[in-house]
Amino acid sequence: MTKSQREIALDRIKQLQDQLEHHFTEHPKQTGESYWQHLWFTTRMTLRMLYTSAALMIHGLFPFMLVRTASLQMEKMYLTMLTRKPKAKPEDEQYGAHI
């Protein structure tokens, strides 16, 4: 491999690294977070959803138990998402466009 081929290869690797970093950080930046902050938030929300799902299943089996637990948790999650405003929202992005 010649020197110029090596330089081309290194430039291409740098471009790929930059693209990969962009993919992992673009959305968290829109919410005003780092990648790790965003991951921590989504992990907490996932755990809350699992807890809510379990409470809902238990309530389904035993209607006299956990009567308001799941609905209260869903309300809390909804309020959390409502108050979570992105720092800069692209004008052309529609809700769920990237799903």
| Full-model pTM | 0.69
Q: Is the CB of residue 30 less than 8 Å from the CB of residue 91?
A: no
- Give a yes or no: residue 25 inside a domain: yes
Q: Are residues 38 and 24 in the same domain?
A: no
User: How many domains, the chain?
Assistant: 2
Tens digit of each residue's pLDDT, the chain (99 residues): 677 988 899 999 999 999 999 988 998 998 889 999 999 999 999 999 999 999 999 999 999 999 999 999 999 999 998 888 665 555 545 555 554
Which residues, in sequence order, are CB contacts of 55 under 8 Å at separation 6+? 66, 69, 70, 73
Q: Give the pLDDT confidence score for residue 71 in this predicted structure.
A: 95
Domain range for residue 73? 33-84
Query: Do both 43 and 26 map to the same domain?
Result: no
Residue 64 pLDDT: 97
Q: What is the per-residue pLDDT for 92? A: 46
Q: In what helix (H) or strand (E) does residue 22 lie, and over which residues does it extend?
A: helix 3-30
Whole-angstrom distance between the N-terminal and C-terminal Cα of the chain? 42
pLDDT at 60: 96
Helix (H, G, I), strand (E, B) or coil at 88: coil
**Quick one: 72 and 60 in the same domain?**
yes
